[in-house]
């Protein structure tokens, strides 16, 4: 075996071990959830009962912040929902943090004037320069808000009227810095793309967040559908724009300062899922890059902070979770090469060992997503057949997310690419003739090439009798093909609807993706 083959084999095995660790951690989170779920819900019921009396006696001033940027299709829906929150008008302030550059400015201004005329405390803060992006908007709004507590909703969320009544009671405990609720899905059944996303989000909110919160581990505010104590934001150093995940960054800094985060699994805030594959990919890239930036920034402080080794280990796993994508990509690329070089596995024992690593790494997340459906929905069995759509998405975005992870490792901040929203709820709705269509991504070409490459790998493995490893490359083949082809199709459909002709290589005249 040449030294080059040896290096490649060592990297391959290291990637397998990394995937194994992340996969096994899914089982740990399931066990934590099962262990603490009942007692956590009993505690929630008790806190709600005690906190309601405190809330009625104090009625603290609440500021609702709505950071928006070019949201012409959803800004009216957002304001309508927020102005219907069940809370005394004289104790509720609404800030529309409008960084828009299109006609959303006029729409928002008109809506704000209408609500102000109706006697509501609604203000619009417009910044001609988007310094710090969302973090900068939240920071500027916080500087002039009058609320003791600050609720935040992104433009694609539609909170129920009782949102504040169900979340504020937890602030009776002066050590609670933020309350995070679970995301719901208004357009879950719109397409296989949205169904897959919903399953993934359910895994995070249905299992991961609860396990971390109830197990005394670090967890995160998800940027929307939650409430902060203003004092906790200021004590932790305020909103900072040196990462693309300002919510994750502030969450960890607040916990390092001693503040507690509460997660409410039974309070659901509906939201619109991205219906365009490019929008979904850009969202995932932002989260991947930002989480790695936050890991670089805060892991040293986390390791120095008080707490158990297990708590710190879980924090590292949490912050670096998107590293699974470059690990997956490395495995997909290296497997056919090593087989071609005739290094691959000297014995069937080695084949079984490698297959076991693959299984634990692959089925750990699948087990978590299945468990989340069982936990959240009475009809969970009907939802499980859609799990393959999530698996295809998870593997198919490995290339674009690997790029984001590498950028997060070596670069600070970056442009905040916002996810286009089209007010899509039912299957009869369409985004194809609307503005904000995302640009064609050249990673689609790489994804299609990787699908072909992985398909060749499947043939090699099966042809040489490595039937236990080949099926895992089938997942890579289908995943890369699904995401790559869907990216091309969505680009073609959007341009056909917008201009009557198709040219996926030319930027559309009306694009707003930032």
pLDDT in tens, 122-148: 999 999 888 999 999 999 999 999 999
pLDDT of residue 344: 53
d(CA 67, CA 112): 14
Query: Is residue 323 pLDDT above 50, yes or no?
Result: yes
121 is catalytic: no
User: Which among 167, 137, 327 is positioned nearest to 246, based on CA atoms?
Assistant: 137
Q: d(Cα 449, Cα 426) in Å, to the nearest integer?
A: 34
Whether 1 has a pLDDT exceeding 90, the answer reads no
Q: What fold characterizes domain 62-283?
A: Spore Coat Polysaccharide Biosynthesis Protein SpsA; Chain A (3.90.550)
Mean pLDDT of 91-107: 96
Q: Which of these is catalytic: 44, 99, 156, 202?
A: 99
Residue of 430 and 132 predicted with greater confidence: 132
Residue 339 near residue 457 (C-beta atoms within 8 A): yes
User: 98, 160, 247, 249: which one is catalytic?
Assistant: 247
Average pLDDT over residues 203-221: 97
Summarize the confidence of residues 243-262 as an average pLDDT: 98
**Beta strands, E only, 102-183:** 122-126, 149-152, 176-183
Per-residue pLDDT reduced to its tens digit, 286-297: 999 999 999 999
Helix 387-396 with 398-410: angle, nearest 10 deg = 50
Report pLDDT digits (tens) over 50-95: 999 999 999 999 999 999 999 999 999 999 999 999 999 999 999 9
Q: What mean pLDDT is predicted for residues 155-179?
A: 98
* Confidence label for 5 from pLDDT (cuts 50, 70 and 90): confident
Rounded to an integer, what distance in angstroms lies between the CA atom of residue 184 and that of residue 506? 36
Helix (H, G, I), strand (E, B) or coil at 39: helix
- pLDDT over threshold 80, residue 151: yes
Closest to 391 in 3D by CA, of 207, 182, 190, 197: 197
- Mean model confidence pLDDT for the chain: 89
Write out pLDDT tens, residues 341-368: 765 555 544 555 565 666 666 789 999 9
For the question of residue 249 being annotated catalytic, the response is no
């Amino acid at each position: 075996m040449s030294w080059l083959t040896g290096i490649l084999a060592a990297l391959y095995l290291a990637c397998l071990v990394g995937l194994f660790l992340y996969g096994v951690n899914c089982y740990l989170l399931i066990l934590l959830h099962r262990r603490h779920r009942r007692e956590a819900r009993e505690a929630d019921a008790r806190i709600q009962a005690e906190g309601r009396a405190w809330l009625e006696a104090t009625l603290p001033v609440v500021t609702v912040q709505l950071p928006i940027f070019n949201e012409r299709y959803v800004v009216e829906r957002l304001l309508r929902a927020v102005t219907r929150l069940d809370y005394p008008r004289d104790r509720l302030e609404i800030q529309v943090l409008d960084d828009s550059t299109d006609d959303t400015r006029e729409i928002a201004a008109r809506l704000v004037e209408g609500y102000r005329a109706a006697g509501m405390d609604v203000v619009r803060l417009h910044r001609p320069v988007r310094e710090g992006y969302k973090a900068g908007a939240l920071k500027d709004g916080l500087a002039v808000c009058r609320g003791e507590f600050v609720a935040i909703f992104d433009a694609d969320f539609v909170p129920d009227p009782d949102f504040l009544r169900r979340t504020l009671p937890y602030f009776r405990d002066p050590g609670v810095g933020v309350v995070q609720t679970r995301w719901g899905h208004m357009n879950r059944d719109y397409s296989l793309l949205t169904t897959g996303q919903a399953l993934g989000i359910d895994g995070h909110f249905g299992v991961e967040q609860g396990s971390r919160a109830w197990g005394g581990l670090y967890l995160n505010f998800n940027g929307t559908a939650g409430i902060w104590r203003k004092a906790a934001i200021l004590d932790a150093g305020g909103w900072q724009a040196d990462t693309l995940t300002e919510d994750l960054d502030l969450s960890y800094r607040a916990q390092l300062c001693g503040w507690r985060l509460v997660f409410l699994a039974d309070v659901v805030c509906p939201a619109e899922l991205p219906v365009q594959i490019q929008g979904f990919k850009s969202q995932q890239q932002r989260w991947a890059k930002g989480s790695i930036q936050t890991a670089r920034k805060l892991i040293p402080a986390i390791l120095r902070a008080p707490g158990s080794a297990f708590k710190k280990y879980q924090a590292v796993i949490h912050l670096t979770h998107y590293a699974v994508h470059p690990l997956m990509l490395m495995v997909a690329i290296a497997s056919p090469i090593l087989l071609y070089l005739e290094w691959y596995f000297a014995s069937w024992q080695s084949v079984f060992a490698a297959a076991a690593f693959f299984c634990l790494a692959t089925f750990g997340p699948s087990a978590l997503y299945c468990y989340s459906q069982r936990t959240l929905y009475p009809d969970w069995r009907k939802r499980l057949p859609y799990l393959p759509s999530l698996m295809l998405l998870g593997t198919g975005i490995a290339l674009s997310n690997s790029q984001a992870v590498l950028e997060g490792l070596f670069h600070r901040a970056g442009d905040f690419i916002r996810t286009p929203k089209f007010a899509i709820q039912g299957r009869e709705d369409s985004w194809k003739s609307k503005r904000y269509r995302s640009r064609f991504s050249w990673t689609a070409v790489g994804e299609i090439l990787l699908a072909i490459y992985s398909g060749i790998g499947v043939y090699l493995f099966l042809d040489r009798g490595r039937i236990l490893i080949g099926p895992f490359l089938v997942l890579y083949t289908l995943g890369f093909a699904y995401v790559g082809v869907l990216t091309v199709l969505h680009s073609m459909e959007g341009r056909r609807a917008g201009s009557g002709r198709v040219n996926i290589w030319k930027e559309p005249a009306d694009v707003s993706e930032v």
